[in-house]
């Protein structure tokens, strides 16, 4: 009776969850005509799927996460015309995708994270016109991406992080007109990026190469590497100890391409730890949607382009530990939306532009450890929105402008370690205790 009841229920099933030691999915699964969600995650003993799986025409979600013994997928999988979500996350034995994979025309989410045996993707992958999310993070055996990748017109997120064998990107990657997130952190073999990449929202650049040659520095369409930089500076190891959160320093990245300006929808540009980067091109100013610019630990950066002032949407500018930065462009004052400016540990910075006072939205200004800074511009008193001013250990700072008393919103002032400061304006001495003033 029970067996008959179970047999009668099988055709009505809409969800199956089998997180067991299942070795094979039954051939009779074809009877589950209404099945929409199949969760086989954690079935580590599962070695194959039956050809009959192609009969599940209502299947929308197929999860094979951590099926570590699964080496191949049946070609009939491509008959799942309703499939929208497919995950093979941590299928470490999976060597490839079935032929005809492009037939999954409704597929929106494809997760192949940590498929460590995956060596290639089908060239037809670009025909997945509905695909929005593609995760290839940790595919350590993947050497290349199909040229058709640029045809994924709906793709919004592409995760290539820790694809340690990936040595190049397709030239037409810039055709991904709605791409909003590209992660390439840990792509240690990547020596070139397409110069036509555009319309990204978050760009995490942590690329390096040990294989750049003398004839590659001018011909790369994207990022250029110093072929003579065989070893990082001797103080690299000290800096690594100080910044334990940084997994790598990009010592060979010495310039960014002019095509950077094509990233017209870019919201965040993170170039932290590009230790050999000496300057940024004028095309930076074309990033009119940019909100966050992170140049932390760009130890060789000497100056910023005047076009910096064209970044009308910029909210945060982080230049901490840009130890060779000598000055800031006068156009800095044009950043009307800027709320946070971090210049901490800019040891070579000896002056600030008078236009600093034009930053009407600035709330936090960090100048701590700017050891060469001898004076502050009187215009500093015009920063009506400024709440936090950190001048800690500005050892060469000899005086403070009287205009600081005009800062109506100031809540925090740090003067610790300002050993060259002879006096503090009376107006600052009278700051209420709740203003959080700290001074030598």
> Could you read off the pLDDT of 142-165 as tens digits, one per residue?
999 999 998 999 998 889 888 989
Q: What pLDDT does residue 372 have?
A: 96
3-state class of 321 per DSSP?
A: coil
Is residue 353 within 8 Å of 377, Cβ to Cβ?
Answer: yes
Among left, alpha and beta (phi > 0; psi -120 to 50; other), residue 103 is alpha
* The token pair that represents 171 in the structure block: 């030239």
Express each pLDDT in 306-338 by its tens digit: 999 999 999 999 999 999 999 999 999 999 999
CA 389-422-384 angle, to 5 degrees, is 25
Place of tokens 């100013």: 285
Is residue 267 within 8 Å of 202, Cβ to Cβ?
Answer: yes
Average pLDDT taken over every residue of the chain: 80
* Range 93-117 average pLDDT: 96
Q: What pLDDT does residue 198 have?
A: 34
Lowest mean pLDDT among 131-145, 240-254, 367-381: 240-254
* Range 167-177 average pLDDT: 76
Q: What pLDDT does residue 230 have?
A: 39
* The token pair that represents 259 in the structure block: 């095509």
3-state class of 258 per DSSP?
A: helix
Q: How far apart are the first and last CA of the chain?
A: 86
Is residue 18 within 8 Å of 44, Cβ to Cβ?
Answer: no
Given a cut of 50, whether residue 140 has pLDDT beyond it is yes
Given a cut of 60, whether residue 432 has pLDDT beyond it is no
* The token pair that represents 211 in the structure block: 């294989």
Is residue 120 within 8 Å of 96, Cβ to Cβ?
Answer: yes
Phi, psi at residue 17, to the nearest 5°? -130, 115
Is residue 397 within 8 Å of 419, Cβ to Cβ?
Answer: no
Q: Which residue has the higher pLDDT, 347 or 171?
A: 347
Report d(CA 122, CA 130) in Å as an integer: 17
Lowest mean pLDDT among 38-47, 105-114, 160-169, 349-358: 160-169
3-state class of 109 per DSSP?
A: strand
Other Cβ atoms within 10 Å of 197 Cβ, number:
23
Express each pLDDT in 381-421 by its tens digit: 999 999 999 999 999 999 999 888 889 999 999 999 998 88
3-state class of 115 per DSSP?
A: coil
In this structure, is the dihedral angle defined by the CA atoms of residues 346, 349, 351 and 354, taken in order, positive or negative?
A: negative
Q: Which residue has the higher pLDDT, 1 or 425?
A: 425
Given a cut of 60, whether residue 53 has pLDDT beyond it is yes
HSE, CB side, 13 Å, CA atoms: give it for residue 277: 30
Express each pLDDT in 361-370 by its tens digit: 999 999 999 9
């Amino acid at each position: 009776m029970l067996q008959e009841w179970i047999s009668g229920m099988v055709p009505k099933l809409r969800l199956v969850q089998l997180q067991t030691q299942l070795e094979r999915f039954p051939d009779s699964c074809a009877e589950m005509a209404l099945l929409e969600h199949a969760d086989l995650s954690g079935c580590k003993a599962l070695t194959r799927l039956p050809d009959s799986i192609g009969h599940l025409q209502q299947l929308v979600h197929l999860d094979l996460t951590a099926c570590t013994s699964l080496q191949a997928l049946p070609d009939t999988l491509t008959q799942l015309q309703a499939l929208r979500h497919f995950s093979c996350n941590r299928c470490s034995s999976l060597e490839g995708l079935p032929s005809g994979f492009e037939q999954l025309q409704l597929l929106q989410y494809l997760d192949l994270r940590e498929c460590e045996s995956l060596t290639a993707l089908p060239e037809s992958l670009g025909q997945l016109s509905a695909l929005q999310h593609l995760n290839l993070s940790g595919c350590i055996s993947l050497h290349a991406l199909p040229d058709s990748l640029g045809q994924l017109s709906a793709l919004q997120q592409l995760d290539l992080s820790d694809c340690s064998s990936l040595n190049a990107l397709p030239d037409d990657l810039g055709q991904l007109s709605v791409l909003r997130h590209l992660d390439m952190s840990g792509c240690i073999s990547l020596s070139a990026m397409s110069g036509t990449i555009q319309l990204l929202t978050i760009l995490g650049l942590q690329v390096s190469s040990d294989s750049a040659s003398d004839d590659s520095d001018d011909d790369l369409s994207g990022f250029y590497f110093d072929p003579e930089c065989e070893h990082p500076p001797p103080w690299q190891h000290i800096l690594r100890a100080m910044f334990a959160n940084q997994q790598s320093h990009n010592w060979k990245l010495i310039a960014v391409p002019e095509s950077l300006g094509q990233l017209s929808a870019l919201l965040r540009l993170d170039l932290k730890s590009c230790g050999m980067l000496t300057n940024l091109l004028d095309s930076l100013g074309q990033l009119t949607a940019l909100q966050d610019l992170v140049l932390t630990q760009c130890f060789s950066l000497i100056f910023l382009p005047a076009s910096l002032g064209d970044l009308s949407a910029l909210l945060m500018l982080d230049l901490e530990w840009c130890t060779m930065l000598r000055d800031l462009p006068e156009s800095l004052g044009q950043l009307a939306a800027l709320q946070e400016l971090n210049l901490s540990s800019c040891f070579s910075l000896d002056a600030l532009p008078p236009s600093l006072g034009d930053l009407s939205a600035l709330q936090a200004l960090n100048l701590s450890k700017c050891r060469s800074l001898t004076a502050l511009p009187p215009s500093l008193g015009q920063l009506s929105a400024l709440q936090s001013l950190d001048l800690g250990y500005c050892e060469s700072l000899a005086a403070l402008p009287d205009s600081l008393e005009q800062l109506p919103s100031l809540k925090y002032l740090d003067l610790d370690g300002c050993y060259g400061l002879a006096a503090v304006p009376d107006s600052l001495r009278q700051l209420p205790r709740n203003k959080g003033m700290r001074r030598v």
